[in-house]
Chain A
Amino acid sequence: MLTLGVETSCDESSAALVDGDRMLSNVIASQVDLHAAYGGVVPEIAARAHVEAIVPVLGEALSAAAGRPGLVAVTVGPGLVGSLVVGVSVAKGLAWSWDVPMVAVNHVEAHAFAPALEGRLPAFPFLALVVSGGHTLLAEVRGVSDMEVLGRTLDDALGEAYDKVAKLLGLGYPGGPVIDGLSADADPRAVLFPRAMIGSGDLNFSLSGLKTAVSRYVKQAGSGAAPVADIAASFQAAALDVVVRKTVAAALERGLRDVVLGGGVACNRKLRSWLAEECAAQGLRLVFPSPELCTDNAAMVAALGHRRFLEGFRSGLDQDVYPGLAFGS
């Protein structure tokens, strides 16, 4: 079935055409450059930019096939309300004018299904680690509509921690790629930052204290501080150490052999290599999508939307948006 996916929850205006799990197009107009000047996402700009980008993005995505889609899948949350409304309004308009069904998708859940587009989605159940600017969670995925959150951040999201620490260190936005890049040739043992919650006995994360520790270190060390690349690498080591260990612990605790890594921070090279290493050591199989399928994109929304459609989910033209939509709800 030809499915049109639409995603406008945050930074990216995206539309994709997917036939089953075969990706025919996945067009993404990113606002990262636009937001870089402000050090992050600015809702009013985000909403206006989505309005301007969505029609050309849709046109390009739809031109990948001659036929008309039989289903529209759209992100209804979580995200910025003004941005979500743009995608949902467009999706309703298309579903109504084409007279085809529409299905609502939680785009954080969709991250766990992104590997399907590359033929690599593991069989249920599997463990999903979703890490992005707004979300950090571990979930057992038992089915398309059967997911259980095992752990989550109690304060800052992983991508948010990268952004804020990059700001503290005077580096650019977005913080993830900058810190990951700088860390490649730097010393991750230069500063011993705390591994918060590593012994908490549960699968939750806390990243706020790490940000405070970096801030305090920079202030106290003054001119005697380690080179900024070493501070960045040391921060990254502390943040990822906890994430990697808890992910492996979650898989072993739940007896899950397959792990899916998704979300924007899944592009992080150090996270990919470190988690792959630790998973391999425990006999776990790790899957992560290509970078363009890690960040928010409409193809993964179509992939999950199609599955939800097959399970009987439908949305009416009164479909609302849910900025705080919970994973697995």
Chain B
Amino acid sequence: MDLVIRSDSEERTLALGRTLGAALDPGDVVCLEGELGTGKTVLVRGMARGRGYDGPVTSPTFIIINPYPAATLCHVDAYRLSDGEQLVEAGIDDFLDGCWICAVEWAQRVRSALPSKRLTVSIAFGAGENERLIKVRESGGWDGRLAAVIREMLKDGG
């Protein structure tokens, strides 16, 4: 399955993230792609909200791996990495043990360190100032579970 959801505001992107976060289970890996400033961290903040965490969700660019135990969510940022080996070196395997949901920004840089079963969410700038086109793509066998997730997200999106 591969589809595009339109978001017309940061709030909408946050809401989509909330729906996505609530629908995921520990062990799931979400790869986030998109240029600087498209709202990848906003989507992850929404995912944390959807898992009952209301505290700050900040950019993990500096720290690379930032776990939120209250949300069983691990926020990863590969912006400064150049290959999967470096993400392993940074300690990602501790969070790929099936007990965490991993949301990985700039995942295209570190694919070799991530499992093949993953959800890829690509965010692109749209025509309008706050418009974003959010493309969702699954790989590696989600057993139809994704269809339900996307149905929920479509209710929130345009």
A-B contacts at CB below 8 angstroms, number: 86
User: B115-141 toward A: CB 8 Å interface, digit per residue (1/0)?
Assistant: 000000000010001000000000000
Give the residues in chain B near A39, CB-CB below 8 Å: 80
* One of A10, A44, A216 near B85 (C-beta < 8 A): A44
Q: A40-B80, A211-B36, A215-B37 are in contact. Are A82 and B89 (CB under 8 A)?
A: yes
Q: B10's closest neighbor in chain A, by CB? A: A209
Give the residues in chain B near A155, CB-CB below 8 Å: 41, 58-59
A38 and B82 form a contact (CB under 8 A): yes
Select the stretch in A122-130, A160-168, A233-241, A312-320 that faces chain B: A160-168
Instruction: Tell me if A134 is interfacial: C-beta within 8 Å of chain B.
Output: yes
Complex Cα distance, B67 from A323, in Å, reads 10
Give the residues in chain B near A10, CB-CB below 8 Å: 62
Give the residues in chain B near A154, CB-CB below 8 Å: 56, 58
A157 and B35 form a contact (CB under 8 A): no
Q: A42-B82, A155-B59, A212-B37 are in contact. Are A80 and B64 (CB under 8 A)?
A: yes
Give the residues in chain A near B66, CB-CB below 8 Å: 324
B37 and A216 form a contact (CB under 8 A): yes
Count residues of chain B with CB under 8 A from any CB of chain A. 29
Give the residues in chain A near B91, CB-CB below 8 Å: 81-82
Instruction: Tell me if B81 is interfacial: C-beta within 8 Å of chain A.
Output: yes
Minimum Cβ distance to chain A for residue B40 (Å): 10
Instruction: Tell me if A133 is interfacial: C-beta within 8 Å of chain B.
Output: yes
Give the residues in chain A near B90, CB-CB below 8 Å: 43-44, 80-82
A153 and B125 form a contact (CB under 8 A): no
Q: A44-B89, A80-B63 are in contact. List 15 more A-B contacts (CB 8 A).
A: A40-B79, A44-B90, A81-B90, A82-B89, A153-B58, A155-B59, A156-B58, A157-B59, A157-B62, A168-B36, A208-B41, A211-B37, A214-B37, A216-B129, A323-B63
30 contacts between A and B (CB under 8 A): A39-B80, A40-B61, A41-B62, A42-B82, A43-B90, A44-B86, A44-B90, A78-B63, A81-B90, A81-B91, A134-B61, A134-B62, A135-B62, A152-B56, A154-B56, A155-B41, A155-B58, A156-B61, A157-B58, A167-B36, A168-B36, A208-B37, A208-B59, A211-B36, A213-B37, A214-B37, A215-B35, A215-B37, A323-B65, A324-B66
| A contact residues vs B (CB 8 Å cutoff) | 10, 38-44, 47, 78-82, 133-135, 152-157, 160, 164, 167-168, 208-209, 211-216, 219, 323-324
| B contact residues vs A (CB 8 Å cutoff) | 10, 35-39, 41-42, 56, 58-59, 61-67, 79-82, 85-86, 89-91, 125, 129
